[in-house]
Chains A and B, each alone.
Chain A
Amino acid sequence: MANQLNEQGKAKTSFWNDPAVRSVIFQILAVGAVVAFFLYIINNALTNMEARGITTGFAFLNDTAGFGIIQTLVPFDETYTYGRTFIVGLLNTVLVSFLGIILATVLGFIIGIARLSKNWLIAKLATVYIEIFRNIPLLLQIFFWYFAVLRALPSPRESMNLGDSIFFNVRGLYMPEPIAEDGFGVVWIAIFAAIAIIIGMVKYEKKRQLTTGKTFPLFFPSLGILLGLPLIVFFISGSPMHLEYPELKGFNFQNGMTIIPELMALLLALTIYTAAFIAEVVRSGIEAVPHGQSEAANALGLTNGQRLRLIIIPQAMRVIIPPLTNQYLNLTKNSSLATAIGYPDLVSVFAGTTLNQTGQAVEIIFMTMGVYLTLSLTTSALMNWYNKRIALIER
């Protein structure tokens, strides 16, 4: 029918009056205009910067940086290049975003479920938490955790001390650092073996339940294998690891692992702030599951835990995932507020110090925007994939 109409249309109208041809032409024109506009702007910017004697291009990435950074996940000192400062900043941003997302999810789920609790006190406490933390600007919360809490902590010489191995003071949290010796690889193999065994167990249990209907508790045996197997291998192979303890030398603690207060404050603020939003997302998700589902589960004789795990949460997740993705993206982007308290993230190190030392604002801001765009698109791609997996499959 449609074909027929089309053919008739073609027969009657001339080429220029064909609506299909016209729409294609106009779309090409529109795209062409947009491309031309951007080319013009870019060209204009380049010409003007050259006319004003401003250096352009990405050659600066190979120049020596010459400044220090307090927290680096990859080797870095003053002799490395500006390109390396980009990597250092990027990794610090990824670190705080990744940890923040995990912690905020855990805390958010707990608070969200607590808000639905039948216990009056717990439910009200959760409500108060949510209303306070999601209504105070994040920057203020970051300042609060940083400056207010920082001032309450003792100086390095009067550190809080736990068994002479963990120290907590205004300069950060100092912990012993595990240093792997030769032969530690065996322990890694044991860890992977334990994970493989657990995956096998879960698959077998599912199959057995489908065929026989019998269930088998999985949680504690899995935990036992995950911890037990590597530990046994560790001791059999003669403990190939030692701890390096932090010690007070001069002004500060040296050696060991350090968590700088900037990271703690930022992580704390991001977690607490985002968790308040995630809690609401979780609550709305759970409330979206019709009450009949719980009643049906009860009628089938499922326990409370089974009801939540097998009936409620899987259905709630479908409502939760899309807004949860938003919160993850927000958290990642909000991590750029780090620059206010001196946490060396991408904005502080690269779009801050590096930009100022080289003066190449356009290139650096362009790269920084590219990073946040990539991080956000990656996060939402992962979440979309997960969302598809758990989406309702209609039969």
Chain B
Amino acid sequence: MKKQLVSAVAALGLVAVSTASLAATLDDVKKKGFVQCGVSTGLPGFSNPDDKGNWTGLDVDVCRAVAAATLGDASKVKYIPLNAKERFTALQSGEVDMLSRNTTWTLTRDGSLGLNFAGVNYYDGQGFMVSKELGVKSAKELDGAAVCIQAGTTTELNLADYFRELGMKYQPVVFDTSDQTVQGFEAGRCDVLTSDQSQLYALRIKLSKPDSAMVLPEVISKEPLGPVVRQGDDQWFNIVKWSMFALVTAEELGVTTSNVDQMKSSTNPNVQRLLGTEAGQGKNLGLDDTWAYNIVKQVGNYGEMFERNVGSGSALGISRGLNALWTKGGLQYAPPIR
């Protein structure tokens, strides 16, 4: 009886704690000493553990940037792999401090889930991958095809829209993780694998014979991917948002990991504000003035991050395209840091 009473009181305590967890994420993170970051279950180029268990990728680098800005150490991140179905619940319930998991920004997600999208770290679009044997040259020839998709993604909806609009039939074969989706595609269960284009390239190198498959030219949707935080904590929202802007601004100003220390003595006031030589920018976010310096020093700028993970320095070899700076015809643009 006594034991039961104790456990009942403990349960009540838990509920009471969850009421209080709306409190500032920044304080939480500082107290814990690390950022808890929700990532994918393994997607080369975006978030993928290497053979030593170290996570790398474009999405991972966003987590690292936030850790560098808040804790001054980019390695203070704890990665929580989540599949597409788990991700929002994990963030809502406070299991992760932020989600950086190739997640598409949509109105429903932004408006009804109690979450905020803190920007776009990769502008993507949905595409199709087919086996070369099929002899298909365009997505418009896919009438009647069986299509492998990952469950719980915007992809499922775009696919339905696309085939409906063109009056074509299809059979959706829905898998839980991207690994299973690839397995289903390799086993010949479906003719087509559909996903965001960047993922298609990433999944293609996971095939046993990458050359046997090709990505079709059609892009059927807009998929702005970016980090997500809980609604109701504007300070944390700002930190994540401006960590991304710092990455882009650094590229714009030509500040890189290797020259960041020299740049500290730059006379350009924009650089001075970014790197904290001119004081005052950090306190607006509740951080040190060196927040952006730490990001660039430890993670690099957006361009370095891109080339290292998905661009020319990686197996994916994706060109900048929409993800080039606005000055070079792309969409990556940061408001002024001042």
Binding site for B on A (CB under 8 A): 37, 40-41, 44, 47-49, 51-55, 66-70, 78, 147, 150-151, 153, 155, 170-171, 249-252, 254, 261-262, 339-342, 344, 348, 352-353, 355-359, 361
B222 at the binding interface (Cβ < 8 Å) = no
Q: Which residue of B lies closest to A258 (CB)?
A: B171
B234 at the binding interface (Cβ < 8 Å) = no
A66:B157 contact, CB within 8 angstroms:
yes
- Give 7 A-B pairs besides A348-B151, A353-B152, A361-B88 with Cβ atoms closer than 8 angstroms: A51-B232, A70-B173, A251-B146, A252-B191, A262-B173, A340-B176, A359-B109
A357 to chain B, nearest CB (A): 7
A44-B19, A52-B22 as given contacts; A352 in contact with B172, CB under 8 Å: no
B295 to chain A, nearest CB (A): 28
A54:B113 contact, CB within 8 angstroms:
yes
Please, could you name 21 A-B residue pairs with CB atoms under 8 Å apart, sorted by A? Answer: A44-B15, A44-B19, A54-B92, A55-B112, A67-B159, A67-B172, A68-B156, A68-B159, A68-B163, A70-B174, A78-B164, A150-B187, A151-B187, A155-B188, A170-B189, A250-B145, A251-B134, A251-B144, A252-B145, A352-B151, A353-B151
Contact of A147 among B88, B163, B187 (CB under 8 A): B187
B170 at the binding interface (Cβ < 8 Å) = yes
A49:B175 contact, CB within 8 angstroms:
no
A69 to B171, CA, bound (A): 7
Contact of A66 among B134, B160, B170, B230 (CB under 8 A): B160
Q: Which residue of A lies closest to B231 (CB)?
A: A53
Q: Give the A-B pair count, Cβ closer than 8 A.
A: 134
B160:A352 contact, CB within 8 angstroms:
no
A366 to chain B, nearest CB (A): 14
A69 to B160, CA, bound (A): 10
Determine the chain A residues whose CB is within 8 A of the CB of B160 once the complex forms: 66-68, 78
B38 at the binding interface (Cβ < 8 Å) = no
A261:B19 contact, CB within 8 angstroms:
no
B157:A67 contact, CB within 8 angstroms:
yes
Determine the chain A residues whose CB is within 8 A of the CB of B112 once the complex forms: 54-55, 358-359
B18:A70 contact, CB within 8 angstroms:
no
Determine the chain B residues whose CB is within 8 A of the CB of A53 once the complex forms: 114, 231-232
Contact of A252 among B88, B151, B171 (CB under 8 A): B171
B85 at the binding interface (Cβ < 8 Å) = yes
Contact of A342 among B11, B152, B163, B173 (CB under 8 A): B173
Contact of A70 among B113, B153, B172, B183 (CB under 8 A): B172
Q: Which residue of B lies closest to A359 (CB)?
A: B113
A47 to B114, CA, bound (A): 13
Interface size for chain B: under 10, 10 to 19, 20 to 34, or 35 or more residues? 35 or more
Q: Which residue of B lies closest to A249 (CB)?
A: B144
A160 to chain B, nearest CB (A): 14
B84 at the binding interface (Cβ < 8 Å) = yes
A252:B114 contact, CB within 8 angstroms:
no
Q: Which residue of A lies closest to B116 (CB)?
A: A53
Contact of B189 among A249, A261, A356, A361 (CB under 8 A): A261
Contact of A41 among B15, B145, B157, B174 (CB under 8 A): B15
Q: Which residue of A lies closest to B175 (CB)?
A: A342
Contact of B171 among A40, A70, A357 (CB under 8 A): A70
A37-B8, A69-B172, A356-B88 as given contacts; A251 in contact with B191, CB under 8 Å: yes
A339 to B157, CA, bound (A): 19
Q: Which residue of A lies closest to B171 (CB)?
A: A70
Most A-side CB within 10 Å, residue of B112, B143, B153, B161: B112
A391 to chain B, nearest CB (A): 36
A340 to B113, CA, bound (A): 26
Determine the chain A residues whose CB is within 8 A of the CB of B45 once the complex forms: none
A40 to B19, CA, bound (A): 12
Q: Which residue of A lies closest to B92 (CB)?
A: A54
B229 to chain A, nearest CB (A): 12
A342:B180 contact, CB within 8 angstroms:
yes
B184 at the binding interface (Cβ < 8 Å) = yes
Interface residues of B in 125-168 (CB under 8 A from A): 134, 142-146, 151-153, 156-157, 159-161, 163-164
Determine the chain A residues whose CB is within 8 A of the CB of B145 once the complex forms: 250-252
B108 at the binding interface (Cβ < 8 Å) = yes
A250-B143, A252-B146, A348-B174 as given contacts; A67 in contact with B232, CB under 8 Å: no
B265 at the binding interface (Cβ < 8 Å) = no
Most B-side CB within 10 Å, residue of A53, A153, A170, A171: A53
A153 to B145, CA, bound (A): 18
A339:B176 contact, CB within 8 angstroms:
yes
B15:A353 contact, CB within 8 angstroms:
no
B109:A342 contact, CB within 8 angstroms:
no
A151 to B189, CA, bound (A): 9
A348 to chain B, nearest CB (A): 7
B196 to chain A, nearest CB (A): 16
A327 to B267, CA, bound (A): 77
Q: Which residue of A lies closest to B156 (CB)?
A: A67
